Amino acid sequence: MLSPMTLVDQWRVTEESLPEGWGSARLRLIVSDRSKAERAAALLGPANPGRYGSFVSFEVARRGGGPSPNLVRRLLARLDAEGFAGTIDAVRIEEEASATAVPERSLAWQWQGLVGGLPDDWSDAYAEVELVSTDYLERGALLLAPLNPSRVPDRTAFRFRTARRFGYGASSMMTHRCFERLDSETIGGTLRILWALSDTKPVYTQGPVWYSGGGPV
């Protein structure tokens, strides 16, 4: 039975149930009327959602790197205003990374795990690798050059796009090879997928465009 609560109230309950120290979560909205799922995804557009049937999924991030809890609340309020019914749950939760923590796993291993956690029909992703030290920034940028990485200001991090089959971004296989290069030189770091889309179909374009910091990525 579908919950009688509004979507905003469901998000509030979900947010309160997240573990202490959570960093990001992947949320899934199941729209009760499948014919309205496309409209729901459109209203959630600023959160870069993916849709499959009546399922609409999107990320929420506690501190930067993705849609904030307040943004998610405002977007869900739009759906409530149009009378949408459905249920929300968190299907993946990641703890907030410590800036001083040294990752226990290689970057190539982390990448395989992140890709394995994406929906089967994922097509585009925007990801971030944060290196453990500023000592590695110059060398890391060189080894990651095939990914066309962009530097994140005031952090030891790079962001990049990847595409599964076509469009803008390096392939997942090339991305894996780049991280193997860093691993071979014992350059450690933490990987995160910030945004992902499923089953995109570019028409005379290079694919979808995300906006971060006021500009396209």
Using the structure block, give the residue that is written with the tokens 């992947």.
26
Phi, psi angles (nearest 5°) of residue 138: -65, -50
96: confidence class by pLDDT, cuts 50, 70, 90: low
- For residue 56, is pLDDT > 50? yes
Catalogue all structural domains in the chain, each as residue range(s) with its CATH number: 7-95 (3.30.70), 107-200 (3.30.70)
Please name every residue paired with 197 in a beta bridge, in sequence order, or none if there are none: 124
CA 180/CA 175 separation, integer angstroms: 9
Three-state secondary structure call for residue 81: helix
The H or E element spanning position 114 is: helix 107-116
Closest by CA to 127, choosing from 167, 161, 98, is: 161
Tell me the pLDDT of the chain averaged across its residues.
Answer: 83
pLDDT of residue 2: 46
Token duo for residue 158: 């790079």
pLDDT of residue 49: 85
Three-state secondary structure call for residue 147: helix
Percent with pLDDT over 70 in the chain: 82
Asked whether the beta carbons of 49 and 57 are under 8 A apart, the reply is yes
Phi, psi angles (nearest 5°) of residue 198: -115, 140
- For residue 101, is pLDDT > 50? no
pLDDT of residue 211: 57
- For residue 109, is pLDDT > 70? yes
pLDDT in tens, 173-195: 899 999 999 998 888 899 998 88
